[in-house]
Amino acid sequence: MHPFTYIKPSSTREALGAGRRGGRYVAGGTTLVDLMRETVERPDKLVDINDLPLREITVTPRGGLRIGALVTMAAAAAHPKVRTMFPVISEALELSASAQLRNMATIGGNIMQRTRCTYFRDVTAACNKRDPGTGCGAREGFNRTHAILGTSADCVATHPSDVAVAFAALEARVHLLGADGSRTLAFSDFLLRPGSTPHREQALRRGELITGVEVPALPRPLVSGYLKVRDRQSYEFALTSAAVALHVKGGIVREARVAAGGVGTVPWKLSAVERALVGERPSDRLWAKAAGSAADGARPLRHNKFKVELLRRTIERQLRTVGGDA
Ligand code: SF4
């Protein structure tokens, strides 16, 4: 392992100073430490932020929910407000990783986690994300689990997070703090598509710290849920997934929030599906029709053509499941 120094600041100010000087923030360490062991990541300095006061879950004055960056996945999934207001978040978290990992990993770390592309994790393979300019082993290699949406000539890796799919669907905002003060980014602006710079994965400035994720209020009643399709039923990443939230009133879909995981280089918001739902009466026919556009724009690779149809069916099934409870 590459040698590194370690500090554990007791104040946010101290942490930000260390981050600005090039330190890498670490909380649960469930991704970063693995990657350091494999020498995929070689930070010179780790800044342990576990003593910072970022572990609260609060209801915002407007009726949304704010989850502190250091709240663990397990704590967020079990929180009564998360469970009652946005079950899609709890379900996405509970279908992620293993119980041990969920007890350590944090919400901030989860949305920062790096791809599971095997070529990225093999330091002998070509990978533009790990070592810019070296090529992409997955494009012509074995790419069954890779992305079909948002890809570029330089990278076709999926974003691995489940809860990020729920956040994308719900149009969450990421709260950031840096040396120049605080700002918020729409979730869709926070995670970057690979383009020609796949090594840049988030729109973070140097030394910026995630302080929390805020989910805006949605009209009630709201039904929501998460479906994950994978090769085995535990401790596995999504081949496809669907985060759906619906507000149905007077027998009409008034609001719809839909996103897909396992298929995009970032969590994939399905705006066309949402538009097809709003103003319509819930029915099996509606779910099938709306899901028909879920894979629009897909560019499958040699081994993952099956994801196109699987994505449509995943979305249709989850619309039917969630819509049936509305
Ligand atoms: Fe690297 Fe992306 Fe290609 Fe995987 S898909 S090898 S992460 S450049």
5-29 pLDDT tens trace: 999 999 999 999 999 999 999 999 9
Whether 138 lines ligand 1, by a CB cut-off of 6 Å, is yes
Instruction: Characterise 145 by phi-psi region: left (phi > 0), alpha (psi -120 to 50), beta (else).
Output: alpha
Domains and CATH numbers, the chain: 1-52 (3.30.43.10), 223-323 (3.30.390.50)
Q: Which tens digit of pLDDT belongs to each residue from 187-197?
A: 999 999 999 99
- Give the closest residue (by CA) to ligand 1 atom 2: 155
Q: Which tens digit of pLDDT belongs to each residue from 274-321?
A: 999 999 999 999 999 999 999 999 999 999 999 999 999 999 999 999
Q: Which residue carries 């994505």 as its tokens?
A: 311
Q: Which residue carries 């942490």 as its tokens?
A: 15
Q: Which atom of ligand 1 is nearest to the CA of 128?
A: 8
Report the candidate in 197, 182, 186 with the shortest Cα–Cα distance to residue 269. 186
Q: How far is the CA of 118 from the centre of ligand 1 (A)?
A: 8
Helix axes 284-291, 306-324, angle to 10 degrees: 150
Report the candidate in 169, 177, 215 with the shortest Cα–Cα distance to residue 59. 215
Whether 155 lines ligand 1, by a CB cut-off of 6 Å, is yes
Give dist(CA 26, CA 36) in Å, integer. 12
Give dist(CA 35, CA 60) in Å, integer. 36
Give dist(CA 30, CA 100) in Å, integer. 10
- Residues comprising the chain, all counted: 326
Report the candidate in 68, 83, 87, 82 with the shortest Cα–Cα distance to residue 27. 68
Q: Taking 80 as the threshold, does the pLDDT of residue 325 lie above it?
A: no
Whether residue 219 has a cis bond before it, omega within 30° of 0: no
Whether 147 lines ligand 1, by a CB cut-off of 6 Å, is no
Q: Taking 80 as the threshold, does the pLDDT of residue 208 lie above it?
A: yes
Please report, for residues 15, 18, 116, the alpha-carbon distance to residue 21 in angstroms, rounded to integers and kept in the order given: 10, 5, 28
Give dist(CA 99, CA 77) in Å, integer. 11
Q: Which tens digit of pLDDT belongs to each residue from 153-190?
A: 999 999 999 999 999 999 999 999 998 899 999 999 99
8-state DSSP, 177 = E
Q: How far is the CA of 306 from the centre of ligand 1 (A)?
A: 20
Instruction: Judge residue 292's burial from the number of C-beta atoms within 10 Å of its C-beta, 0-12 exposed, 13-18 middle, 19 or more buried.
Output: middle
